[in-house]
Amino acid sequence: MTPAADERDRIRAAMDRVLAGTCERSNGALTVVALAIEADVPRNALTQRHIDLKNEFYAHVTARGGTPEVETRLRKKIVDLKTTIANKNDEIATLRADVQGFLAENTRLTLENQELRDILSGHTTNVTPLRPATG
């Protein structure tokens, strides 16, 4: 038997065990990783050399009314990430609006500060005499 044929036989046997729930090596998850562990082959054997067996495995999982665990996990992650993006976009919009308010307040306080400095220094007007007062 060729190495590839032996590998395919091991994958098919592992597929039967995983789908039956009688795993010997893996945790029984309906994933390519668990199938590879159960078949005692590298994961890339299923993702590169025996893609047809990987697709067949997922077809069996789907036919049983189940969604592959990896797909369920990824779909949940997508929902979580979309929620995070929406929250971040709301936060950015709020911060942008706050910046405008802070700039206006900063300008007002700068002018008020200058007025107070003028009062403290005795210059109540913004007119500066050309010649010093003689007395």
Give me the tens of pLDDT residue by residue for the chain, a chain 135 residues long: 666 778 899 999 998 998 888 888 888 888 888 889 989 999 898 889 899 999 998 888 888 776 767 777 888 999 999 999 999 999 999 999 999 999 999 999 999 999 888 888 875 566 666 777 665
| pLDDT score, position 128 | 67
Per DSSP, the three-state class of 122 is coil
| pLDDT score, position 87 | 97
Centre a 10 Å sphere on the Cβ of residue 41 and count the other Cβ atoms it contains: 19
pTM, to two decimals: 0.51
Buried/exposed 7-32: b ≥16 CB within 10 Å, e otherwise? bbeebeebbebbbeeebeebebbbbb
Show me where the domains of the chain are located: 3-66, 69-122
| pLDDT score, position 127 | 64
Per DSSP, the three-state class of 3 is helix
| pLDDT score, position 1 | 60
| pLDDT score, position 105 | 94
